[in-house]
Amino acid sequence: MKTILAVVVLFVCLYSLFPGLPANTGSDLVAKGEDIFFNETFGGNGRTCVTCHRPEDNWRITPAFIATLPDDDPLFAHEFMPEFRENFEKADLLREWGLILMNPDGFDDLENDFVMRTVNSLRSVRTSIEGMPHEGMENQLDFMEPLTGWAGDGAPGDGSLRSFAIGAIIQHMPRTLAREPGVDFRLPTDEELDALEAFMLTLGRQEELSLPLPLKGDLALRGQDLFIDRDNKNGRCNVCHINAGASSLQASVLPQGRIVNLGSIVHATGEEFAPGKPTELIPLDDGYKDTHQFNTPPVVEAADAGPLFHSGFVKSVEEAVDIYNLDTFRESEVGIALTRRFGTETDLSASEVLAIGAFLRVINALDNIRETTELLETSLEKGILENERARELIRRAAYETEDAIIVLDGVNLHPLAVGRLRRAEELIHSAREATFSRSGHVRDALVELQRAREILIES
């Protein structure tokens, strides 16, 4: 009897050490994908996917983050590998603007045929890569290909999320500009592609929001009304960014699925617009298959993702909203189509711009809180033998909380929520350093996060 009891006790103890077991195959595939994403160089120049898609920087990379990297980071391969001195990256544009060189139309004329784009955040790819069917418009979306990247031209073949990895390896990771498969890099196996896809699909938001949300602040509520713009009289943001996501109704409003390059709308000189002095000439981006059309990106994640737009020339969400006030937007193909369809031009007052900005900041902060909460809760499920994993999750939770603080505090929105978030951040840092009391700190942080959330939205 004693032996049986001892065996049961041992089993229970062991189970509490490995509560995640037995592992299912789905999570194995994700773990494998994560490992490839972080470590696999595919026999290339030393870059990996995480070189440009950093968890600390919202799974993309911004100039502020780039400034913290050592000179021998593989991101700067073109600065220390002689074969990349020309036509691989533009050193100044990468350091100052976070712009990466791409040749979506092929590698035949490297000198002249390239575009410069910011790195897409991989948060919420699950919801942003395909037009989600909305009531009454299912058929209109049937014709659409997957909407990957800024313009849908970054992935070879079927343009899918799975294929995007192949394009990324050939574009960013070769040993030389000859880009010969098997020599300059190796192509991923089908299994590796499945794993990468499975991993990327787990990042960030898994569902679209359903607007309107029961927000608590007057300014954000007003911004939400303006964003949804029920009568389509002015902002009409929801026409393109339905539910602040990436899928859109534009197919029924506008002649084509993708919309005209807003980057080029604001200048029309044949060069990409950038305030201040761009250090090198940035050629005009021809978007999807030379049409100058770009995918509608999700905006739930925009407030802490800046520099915004494919060319990174917009610094804040307020500045982004103001783009739609410019004559260059109103007079563009897409601006004219909106006016023709709804009868009025977009004309947002300064206070309306601020209100929409506040709305975008609040939904971003709420998403940061959701993400932090999920990361912390998952960390609590990890047993002693998964200590490192738990620490990594807590580390990522700290970045998310920090982002929520920055987006709200940047314009003095919801100071009480910011106070709660700062307290949560301190507790998360204590949890990272703690050896024994980790879960206690994590639980306390979860309480603070919940309180912050309750200040922003009705539960």
Q: Which stretch binds ligand HEC (CB under 6 A): 22-30, 135-143, 163-171, 390-398?
A: 163-171
Sign (positive or negative) of CA dihedral 290, 295, 296, 298: negative
Neighbours of 424 (CB within 10 A): 28
Question: Which residue in 44, 131, 149, 204 binds ligand HEC (CB under 6 A)?
Answer: 149
**Rounded distance, CA 320 to CA 230, Å?**
21
Q: Does 372 bind ligand HEC (CB under 6 A)?
A: no
Question: Which residue in 259, 424, 428, 446 binds ligand HEC (CB under 6 A)?
Answer: 259
C-beta of 391: minimal distance to ligand HEC in Å? 24
Question: Which residue in 30, 66, 93, 119 binds ligand HEC (CB under 6 A)?
Answer: 119
Question: Which residue in 159, 174, 204, 263 binds ligand HEC (CB under 6 A)?
Answer: 263
Q: Does 296 bind ligand HEC (CB under 6 A)?
A: yes
Q: Which stretch binds ligand HEC (CB under 6 A): 272-280, 289-297, 375-383, 416-424?
A: 289-297
Q: Kindly write out the interface string for residues 266-285 of this chain, putting x where it contacts ligand HEC by CB under 6 A and - elsewhere.
A: --------------------
Query: How far, rounded to the nearest angstrom, does the alpha carbon of residue 162 sit from its chain's CA centroid?
Result: 17
Q: How many residues of this chain interact with ligand HEC, rule: CB under 6 A?
A: 54
C-beta of 86: minimal distance to ligand HEC in Å? 16
The set of residues, in sequence order, having a beta carbon less than 8 Å from that of 253 and lying 6+ positions away, is 239, 337, 338, 341
Q: Kindly write out the interface string for residues 297-326 of this chain, putting x where it contacts ligand HEC by CB under 6 A and - elsewhere.
A: x-x--x--x--xxx------x--xx--x--
Structure tokens at 232: 């389509």
Q: Does 125 bind ligand HEC (CB under 6 A)?
A: yes
**Rounded distance, CA 16 to CA 135, Å?**
46
Sign (positive or negative) of CA dihedral 331, 332, 334, 336: positive
Amino acid letter, 366: L
The set of residues, in sequence order, having a beta carbon less than 8 Å from that of 423 and lying 6+ positions away, is 448
C-beta of 448: minimal distance to ligand HEC in Å? 28
C-beta of 431: minimal distance to ligand HEC in Å? 30
The set of residues, in sequence order, having a beta carbon less than 8 Å from that of 397 and lying 6+ positions away, is 371, 372, 375, 376, 379, 428, 445
**Rounded distance, CA 272 to CA 285, Å?**
7
Please state whether the peptide bond connecting residue 74 to the residue before it is cis, i.e. omega within 30 degrees of 0.
no
Neighbours of 213 (CB within 10 A): 19
**Rounded distance, CA 206 to CA 298, Å?**
12
Site for ligand HEC in 383-402 (CB under 6 A): none
Q: Does 52 bind ligand HEC (CB under 6 A)?
A: yes
Residues 432, 398 contacting (CB under 8 angstroms): yes
Q: Does 120 bind ligand HEC (CB under 6 A)?
A: yes
Please return the burial class of 260, using the count of CB atoms within 10 Å of its CB with bins 0-12, 13-18 and 19+.
buried
C-beta of 417: minimal distance to ligand HEC in Å? 21
Neighbours of 357 (CB within 10 A): 25
Q: Does 163 bind ligand HEC (CB under 6 A)?
A: no
Q: Does 44 bind ligand HEC (CB under 6 A)?
A: no
Q: Kindly write out the interface string for residues 213-232 of this chain, putting x where it contacts ligand HEC by CB under 6 A and - elsewhere.
A: --------------x-----
Neighbours of 458 (CB within 10 A): 8
Q: Does 236 bind ligand HEC (CB under 6 A)?
A: yes
Q: Does 195 bind ligand HEC (CB under 6 A)?
A: no
Closest C-alpha to 452, from 434, 429, 432, 427: 427
Question: Which residue in 161, 203, 428, 449 binds ligand HEC (CB under 6 A)?
Answer: 161
Please state whether the peptide bond connecting residue 212 to the residue before it is cis, i.e. omega within 30 degrees of 0.
yes
78 or 420: whose CB is closer to ligand HEC? 78
Site for ligand HEC in 329-358 (CB under 6 A): 334, 356
Sign (positive or negative) of CA dihedral 169, 170, 176, 181: positive
Question: Which residue in 30, 66, 93, 100 binds ligand HEC (CB under 6 A)?
Answer: 100
84 or 294: whose CB is closer to ligand HEC? 294
Q: Which stretch binds ligand HEC (CB under 6 A): 255-263, 268-276, 390-398, 424-432?
A: 255-263
236 or 453: whose CB is closer to ligand HEC? 236
Closest C-alpha to 301, from 146, 128, 170: 128
**Rounded distance, CA 448 to CA 418, Å?**
10
153 or 400: whose CB is closer to ligand HEC? 153
**Could you tell me the end-to-end alpha-carbon distance of the chain, in angstroms, rounded to an integer?**
51
Interface residues with ligand HEC (CB under 6 A) are 47, 49, 51-53, 100, 102, 117, 119-120, 122, 125, 128-129, 148-151, 154, 161, 164-165, 168-169, 172, 196, 200, 227, 235-237, 239-241, 250, 259, 261-263, 294, 296-297, 299, 302, 305, 308-310, 317, 320-321, 324, 334, 356
